Each structure stands twice: as structure tokens, then as C-alpha cells.
């Protein structure tokens, strides 16, 4: 009588082992491709900025970007120290690269590297596009200590200090938000006085 050949334990597990090896190989290749992609992204200067191209020019008026008064000119008198609004240049509101955060700070609180020449009566403006991955930043007002108010990007919690040139105080943002010049006109409205003094959009 021919004894039935028994399957050896290693034969039973052979297919699973091959599948496992193949899985490891595929994961390794995908991981390597991911690293190469990331490297190319970092090294490619054309990718920086995320395609954001601003069109703000000196003389453009500032208008509210959001809310019931979106599109209306911003009056300096409507903003007290510690206030901030999102703003666009009038007539150029369809370009997201033009979005800025206009903030009113006590003038004595400005410190380097804020460009004081680009501020007026405590008004300072920065790009509202986070330099990490391009989310819109928000204003965190500290009513107990207005000088401790700051700008934050909630996407990955980058924090910027508006009194110090929007310096990065925390989070993954690689560089400050770019400052742009503003001034109060004799009729009380605000206008831009320069272009952005730095790169706008994601810088990773
Ligand atoms: S996009 Fe702003 S912290 Fe990541």
C-alpha cells in the first residue's frame, strides 16, 4: 500500500511566504518612489509657490474679502487695535494669491524684522496664504493681552507673529508670511503701497 504523501509544513506556508516577500518588495519600491518624488518636489524651484502669482500693485484699494460687506472698501476707523480682517485688492478678488490679512497693532509693539516703512498707523498686512501647504490663515485675538494675539494656520498649526514680520513661532511653515505695504488715505480707506516683500504660497 502506497502511503499518501503528506504535505510538509513549509510547503503549506510556501505561497504565503512568497506573497509576503512580494508584498515587502512592492512596499519597498513604492517607498523608494515616494522618496524620489519628495526629493524632486523639494529640488524643483518651479514647484514652490504652489502656482500662486499675485497681481497686487501699489495704489490698489483694500476691500473686505468675506462677510456681508465683501467687496466694500475697508475704513481704517472700523478697525481697532487687535482687530484683523481678510482683504483683497479692489477689482482683483478672483485671484486667491492676492488674499492678505490686514491687522491693526499698537505701533509700539512692532519689532524687527517687521518693515515699519510698510506699515501705517499700526496697520500691517501679510499674505494670508500659509507658506506650508497653502491654507488660509486665521487671526487669534487675545483680549486679555492684545500684544499676545497672533496668526495661526489651522491646517497643521503653524503660528506666525505679526508684530515680528510674521516670523514663524511654531509648526511646519518654513518661512514667514510675506509682508506687503499699506497706508491710510486721507479719506480713511486703505491702499497697498508695494508688492509682497517675499515669496507667496507654499514653500515646501
Ligand atoms: S498649510 Fe498651514 S500649517 Fe500646513
Residues with CB under 6 A from ligand 1: 130, 132-135, 153, 155-156, 158, 171-173
The conformation of residue 75, written as its DSSP 8-state character, comes to: B
pLDDT surpassing 70 at residue 40: no
d(CA 140, CA 149): 6
Sheet holding 123-127, edge to edge: 62-64, 84-89, 100-104, 123-127, 179-184, 190-196
Model confidence pTM above 0.95: no
pLDDT at residue 22 greater than cutoff 90: no
- Contact (CB, 8 A) for 175 and 197: no
Whether the predicted pLDDT of 111 surpasses 60: yes
The pLDDT assigned to 49 comes to 77
Structure-model confidence comparison of residues 39 and 165, the more confident one: 165
Q: Kindly report the number of other CB atoms within 10 A of residue 175's CB atom.
A: 14
* Residue nearest to ligand 1 atom 3, measured at CA: 156
Q: What is the 10 CA–ligand 1 centroid distance (Å)?
A: 51
Radius of gyration of the chain (CA): 26
- pLDDT above 90 for 94: yes
* pLDDT tens, residue by residue, 66-81: 999 999 999 999 999 9
Q: Whose CA is nearest to atom 1 of ligand 1?
A: 133
- Asked if pLDDT for residue 38 goes beyond 60, the answer is no
Determine the residue of 126, 132, 174 to mutate for testing ligand 1's pocket, defined as the one with the most ligand atoms within 8 A of the Cβ atom: 132
Query: DSSP state, 54?
Result: -
Cα torsion through 133, 139, 144, 146, rounded to 10? 100
Amino acid at each position: 500500500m502506497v502511503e499518501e504523501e503528506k504535505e510538509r509544513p513549509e510547503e503549506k506556508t510556501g505561497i504565503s511566504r512568497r506573497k509576503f516577500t512580494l508584498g515587502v518588495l512592492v512596499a519597498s519600491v513604492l517607498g523608494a518612489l515616494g522618496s524620489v518624488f519628495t526629493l524632486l518636489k523639494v529640488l524643483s524651484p518651479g514647484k514652490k509657490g504652489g502656482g500662486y502669482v499675485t497681481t497686487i500693485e501699489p495704489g490698489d484699494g483694500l476691500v473686505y474679502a468675506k462677510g456681508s460687506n465683501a467687496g466694500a472698501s475697508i475704513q481704517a476707523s472700523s478697525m481697532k487695535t487687535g482687530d484683523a480682517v481678510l482683504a483683497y485688492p479692489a477689482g482683483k478678488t478672483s485671484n486667491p494669491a492676492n488674499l492678505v490679512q490686514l491687522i491693526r497693532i499698537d505701533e509700539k509693539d512692532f519689532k524687527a524684522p517687521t518693515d515699519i516703512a510698510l506699515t501705517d498707523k499700526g496697520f500691517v498686512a501679510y499674505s494670508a496664504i500659509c507658506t506650508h501647504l497653502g491654507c488660509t490663515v486665521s487671526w487669534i485675538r487675545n483680549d486679555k493681552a492684545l500684544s499676545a494675539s497672533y496668526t495661526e494656520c489651522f491646517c497643521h498649526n503653524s503660528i506666525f507673529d505679526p508684530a515680528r514680520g510674521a516670523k514663524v513661532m511654531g509648526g511646519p511653515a518654513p518661512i514667514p508670511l510675506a509682508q506687503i505695504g499699506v497706508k491710510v488715505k486721507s479719506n480713511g480707506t486703505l491702499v497697498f503701497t508695494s508688492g509682497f516683500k517675499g515669496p507667496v504660497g507654499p514653500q515646501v
